Structure 1
Amino acid sequence: MALLLDYTFSTDPAPLQTSTAQAGTRGRINVSVSDPSDAVYCNQLLIAVPLGDDPASLAAVANVPTASINTAAWNPTSVEVGALGGDPTVTWAKFTFRALSTDPADWLIGSANLVPSLDAIVNLAPGQFEYVIEETSGTDPEKLDPNRGSFTLDKVLPRFYVQNLVAVAPTAPTVPATEFALGAPILLEWEGNGTWYELYRKGISMPVYAGTATSFEIADGLLTDTTFVLVASSTGNPAHDSPSTGYETIVLYETLTLTVSNPALTPTSVKASGDVTAGGTLGVSEAATIGKTLDVTGALSAESVSTGPVAGNSLSISGHASIGDGVTVGGASSLGPTNVNGNLASTGGFWASAVTTPGLNVNGGATVGALTANGQTLVNGLLALKPGSGNAIYALSSSGVNQIAGFYNHARRSGDYITGVVSIVGPGGAYGFGTNGKYTSSAGSALLTHLETRVGHRVVTSPLVLEEEVQISGTGRLSSGRATVLLGDEAADLVVHGEEAAYRVLVTPNGRCGGLAVVERSPDGFVVEELGDGAGEVEFDWLLISRKPAELGATRPSELPDRLPEAAPPSL
């Protein structure tokens, strides 16, 4: 029966070209399978092409084509060489493709992306050959029949060609690219049936490659944008030729332009209306005036600079710097006398909204001879200031009166003043200090605070205990002399109860009764009963004291360290 599906052919080259005695020519045949009616089921395709040295064959018997397909839903499952039909004198290469799914719903072809492919070394004889397709198909998935048809494809004498000059990264050979990073290796590839190729690049009069191969790797990459010109010829090395008068070599050309994302430029002058970015070192021997933004990810060195915002990895200015808007430095900074009327930022160093300093050196931390900061100061690394016996860091709020934060080192003040770390916030309920680690004190006291009373402030402290404890309290009521207190999920996660670390419960009745006892304890709660088999209905208060669990869900308690670490002064 006739084929039920539609088939569209494409070949590379188009049409297929025969091989020569000097070199084999590869040809690829792709056939796109579709069904506009969306009603045909198919779970197998058999494709056959003739083998031999004659014009009616695709390839020699010794050069059996290879099969592939564009989808993982189908697979080329077998290849056979032998007769097809009634003529035993013709040798065929037969390829079977099968659908992997056993679900008939997946056998509907429709407009599915199904493209079987054959890759062959075409024989030397031009002509036409038969391309046979046998599909196992039908409109009823329960009754699929073999349906066969054939197509005629052409082979022509080889025509000199060169095409498809592309660039790829050696690590991604199937992904064409036109832009590469500075110095990144580049692999150039092309297709052609020439016998000699020469590759030229911009600015170089001699070829960077000459030979018979169809690829060339530029291991050191490119510094700037470059155009490549590929010259193909059907001759040997031209350097060895001695042509007679009037002879001209026939050549074909392919060009490809590649760009560099971070090129190394050496212009005679630069004028930028927008931002300027330098990935390496930017050296200015005389004055540099930047009207917009100078973004330096390497180093900036200049005798003098008058600029707007400056950003980079490191900043080195040997002369005087007057910066009218701001400076942002990504790494180390070395400055002479510097006035900054905007922001100065250094990753791992110092930042302030206004700075006036006769000398500033930032090397991950900061060593400051003199510093005036009228706004915010942020240090991501180490900030060390040596102001003698005065205040080390002291900041005021916008009012100029209320202190925001301060650190005092050997403060001159005597009497009852804090000389360590101070944090004063506006409203009394705001958070003033936080840490995701542990808080320690070597003074032998717990955290102190004072609470307001009718007769003044009273200093209070947290309890000093030998283990990390959790305290939970509440109120319960006896019913017929018995009460069950459930802790709830959140409270239960905060207590430890086991043979080695059982929690304790203190109960206090709020009315007359014969006495109370905790008769049962579990991780989820506890049971209270009246003594003497009482049956009272009295209310009671309870206080549960438990070891803190080592972590969420743990049955073992957290342990305090044997000793606290020593507090060491910063080293410069």
Structure 2
Amino acid sequence: MQNNISHKQSNQAPLYLTNFISFPYQSSQQDIPVTQFMALSPFSVKWSSNGTGYKLYANSNPNPIYTGTGTSFDIPQGFKHNTTLMLEASNAAGKLYAFLTIIISKPTLTPDSITVAGTMDNPSILTVQGTLYAKSTLTINGTLNLGNNNSFNDITVGATSNIRGKATLAQLTANAIAGGASITTDANCALTLQPNATVNKLDTTSVTASGSSNIADLTVNGNITANKASITMMGSWNLIKQGSAFGEMTITAGTDGLVLVYIDPDNCDAGTNATAVITYNGQQYSVNGVNLYQVQSNNALKQGYCCVPVQKGTSWQCSGSTSGNGQSPTIYVYWIPFGADKSS
């Protein structure tokens, strides 16, 4: 729709402004008006006038999008939503104004608030510059990218979620949780992990895992209770030292575990003896293995063993000695870690 407003000065030649129309960008039919375009689609405008200067404004923006003497203008970037154009023509006689409303189909909206009673489908990108509130359930089937300070009551994510800052969730359901970030829950919240969930660091009050969960770093300040389930804590035995006599060696434990010393008197000469000494936390623990002299043509074998618990980060010492003539009993020193860590 075109409207003209005339502002004339007396005793001046008349000024006219007509045929203010819009048409598709680079169209071959520029005399056929078109007022509806897709969002961000280019279009052009033209007019007829005897003015010597023109200014074209969009909506309430006080800065013109065009200033010049030509009677046409291309708008290659289009508009995101419905826009009213105001054209000012001027010459020595005065000024005239014309208005043209551009209708945008599938516009990009920036409302202060949106209330959706049913289903809202957004097949493209939804960008929220401010705060996004979901009073009910928010379901994301694709990728969810979140910035800082996110708060959700109930969120279900079917693909990938990228949370760069702090997120507060009353309930989180995910098929897999992986990455270097930590997950922390408050004292009244339980975290439920789906089968094969992987968590780098976990800090929570209660964890329920229905399948296999791999947790890189888990600190338990209270109790661990397994209802009708098994808890595997012992790692594989690692042979630290094997021999009859050896000087004191010092070892620092990379994880909690057990030091087990076993002395085997088999395949050794009668009357020989082996002794191993473990020193830990200011205490010494000695163990002997001996093959006594023959009694009624049979050797009397005495095996020896000792087990000492060791904390992660602490050091322990072990040494071995023998007595008697001939082949002495063999001393075996094993490290049995708690968990799969073999370091000692």
TM over 0.5: no
Q: Which bracket does the TM-score occupy, shorter chain normalised?
A: 0.3 to 0.5
TM-score between the two structures when normalised by the length of structure 2? 0.38
Structure with the greater relative contact order (CA < 8 A, sep ≥ 6): 1 or 2? 2
TM-score between the two structures when normalised by the length of structure 1? 0.25
